[in-house]
């Protein structure tokens, strides 16, 4: 079972699992137009992306689709009871650090109530293992690198990070109380084709293509450990398969320990787009952190191999997709 399957990572994962012959029970709260209760405009870029991703996933052989809100207790519980999944990969959430500065209330239902419902349903239906999306943002503001899973995570810099940190604590309690085995996967800035329109790679690329200013916070000196989406999907798939290697209520970084400065990221992107960026500087936002850098030791100790797509190649795939999805001259995406 994959939740959040109209999303960026969830759609890619659902397709990957179906292509490998798995039966995938996929769900999302988006309707056929990609609209969600928080984004009811079918013409928004996010809605159009969700609709297009969902259409591809729903057509894949082996995928059973269900529209549901994970924050609605009986919808999830009933569906899980009818499906009886062996493993649940829970990716549905309200994502986005900056969005949580503007509207923290948007995060409560999906990320806190929804997560509690997933735990309850997994417990009630005796799901063997739960894998769920956590985030590098749980590490908060710090300069020591790389980030180890055992490091403290009790100083979230944003409400979004607080919900992810809460998810890890909630999962821990369900293991202590009921023995539910779970794995929180701390994703590090995932990018690639079909990426989220609120994330830096999409925003930067669209600004560069349209010769509009690219806003760089803190002089572009913020450092991010970017992870190509197919590397992320490969890690999630392998972690679901090698589940005997993680026990209890575990957490793991899914990142490559190769952070780069955002300004350098913009340079690689502009080279691929063959267009010079117009840079506009802005002060660092309070919810932002200066650095993300994953220690990948734990992940590598659990997996036999993990793909490491070079930034140039991953961004090349992203640019190729973006130019097809939104050819210049068409309406703005």
Ligand X SMILES: NC(=O)c1ccc[n+]([C@@H]2O[C@H](COP(=O)([O-])OP(=O)(O)OC[C@H]3O[C@@H](n4cnc5c(N)ncnc54)[C@H](O)[C@@H]3O)[C@@H](O)[C@H]2O)c1
Q: What are residue 286's phi and psi, to 5 degrees?
A: -65, -30
Question: What interhelical angle do 8-19 and 229-241 show, nearest 10?
Answer: 60
Q: Which is nearer to ligand X, 118 or 268 (CB)?
A: 118
Listed in sequence order, the residues at least 6 apart from 297 whose beta carbon sits closer than 8 Å to its beta carbon are 148
Using CB under 6 A as the binding rule, whether residue 156 contacts ligand X is answered as no
Q: Which of 1, 2, 9, 24 binds ligand X (CB under 6 A)?
A: 9
Shortest Å distance, C-beta 278 to ligand X:
25
159 counts as binding ligand X under rule CB under 6 A:
no
Q: Which stretch, 90-98, 238-246, 280-288, 292-300, contacts ligand X (CB under 6 A)?
A: 90-98
Strand partners, 227: 190
CA distance 223 to 217: 11
Q: What are phi and psi of 112, to 5 degrees?
A: -105, -60
Cβ proximity to ligand X, 140 vs 280, nearer residue: 140
Q: Which of 79, 305, 89 is nearest to 182 (CA)?
A: 89
Q: Which of 132, 160, 202, 228 is catalytic?
A: 160
Q: x/- string (CB under 6 A) for ligand X, residues 104-123? A: ------x---x---------
Task: Provide the 8-state DSSP code for 121.
Answer: H
CA distance 327 to 320: 10
| DSSP string for residues in 40-97 | --TTSHHHHHHHHHHHHHHHSTTEEEEE--TTSHHHHHHHHHHH--SEEEE--S---H
Q: Give the span between the Cα atoms of 26 and 30, in whole angstroms.
A: 12
Does the active-site annotation cover 139? no
Residue with tokens 């340079």: 267
Closer Cβ to ligand X, 49 or 249, answer by number:
49
Smaller CB separation from ligand X, 28 or 326: 28
Strands 260-261 and 223-224: antiparallel
- Over the window 48 to 67, marking each residue x when it contacts ligand X by CB under 6 A and - when it does not, the resulting string is --x-----------------
6 binds ligand X (CB under 6 A): yes
Residues within window 174-203 making contact with ligand X, judged by CB under 6 A: 187, 189-190, 196
Of residues 65 and 275, the one with the C-beta less far from ligand X: 65
CB of 329 to ligand X, least distance (A): 27
Query: How much is the CA Rg of the chain, to the nearest whole Å?
Result: 19
Q: Does 314 bind ligand X (CB under 6 A)?
A: no
Q: Which of 30, 119, 208, 238 binds ligand X (CB under 6 A)?
A: 30
Measured at CB, which residue is nearest to ligand X? 7
Nearest approach in angstroms of CB 4 to ligand X is 3
Nearer to ligand X, 187 or 318 (CB): 187
Residues designated as active site: 160
Question: Using CB under 6 A as the criterion, which residues of the chain lie in contact with ligand X when the complex forms?
Answer: 4, 6-10, 28-30, 36, 50, 69-71, 91-95, 110, 114, 133, 135, 187, 189-190, 196
């Amino acid at each position: 079972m994959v939740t959040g399957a109209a999303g960026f990572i969830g759609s890619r994962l659902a397709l990957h699992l179906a292509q490998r012959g798995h039966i995938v029970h996929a769900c999302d709260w988006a309707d056929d137009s990609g609209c969600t209760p928080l984004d009811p405009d079918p013409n928004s870029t996010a809605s159009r992306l969700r609709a297009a991703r969902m259409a591809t996933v729903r057509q894949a052989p082996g995928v059973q689709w269900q529209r549901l809100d994970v924050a609605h207790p009986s919808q999830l519980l009933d569906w899980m009871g009818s499906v009886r999944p062996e493993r649940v990969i829970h990716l549905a959430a309200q994502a986005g650090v900056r969005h949580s500065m503007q509207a923290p209330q948007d995060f409560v239902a999906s990320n806190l109530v929804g997560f509690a419902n997933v735990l309850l349903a997994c417990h009630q239906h005796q799901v063997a293992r739960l894998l769920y999306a956590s985030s590098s943002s749980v590490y908060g503001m710090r300069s020591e690198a790389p980030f180890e899973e055992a490091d403290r995570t009790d100083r979230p810099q944003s409400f979004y990070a607080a919900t992810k940190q809460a998810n890890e604590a909630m999962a821990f309690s369900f293991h202590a109380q009921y023995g539910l085995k779970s794995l929180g996967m701390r994703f590090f800035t995932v990018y690639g084709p079909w990426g989220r329109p609120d994330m830096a790679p999409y925003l930067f690329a669209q600004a560069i293509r349209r010769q509009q200013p690219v806003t760089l916070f803190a002089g572009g000196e913020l450092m991010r450990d970017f992870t190509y989406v197919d590397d992320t999907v490969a890690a999630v798939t392998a972690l679901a398969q090698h589940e005997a290697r993680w026990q209890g209520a575990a957490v793991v970084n899914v990142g490559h320990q190769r952070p780069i400065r955002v300004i350098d990221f913009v340079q690689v992107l502009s080279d691929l787009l063959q267009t010079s960026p117009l840079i506009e500087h802005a002060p660092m936002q309070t919810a932002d952190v200066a650095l993300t850098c994953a220690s990948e030791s734990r992940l590598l100790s659990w997996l036999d191999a993990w793909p490491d797509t070079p930034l140039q190649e991953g961004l090349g795939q992203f640019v190729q997709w973006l130019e097809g999805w939104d050819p210049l001259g068409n309406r703005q995406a």
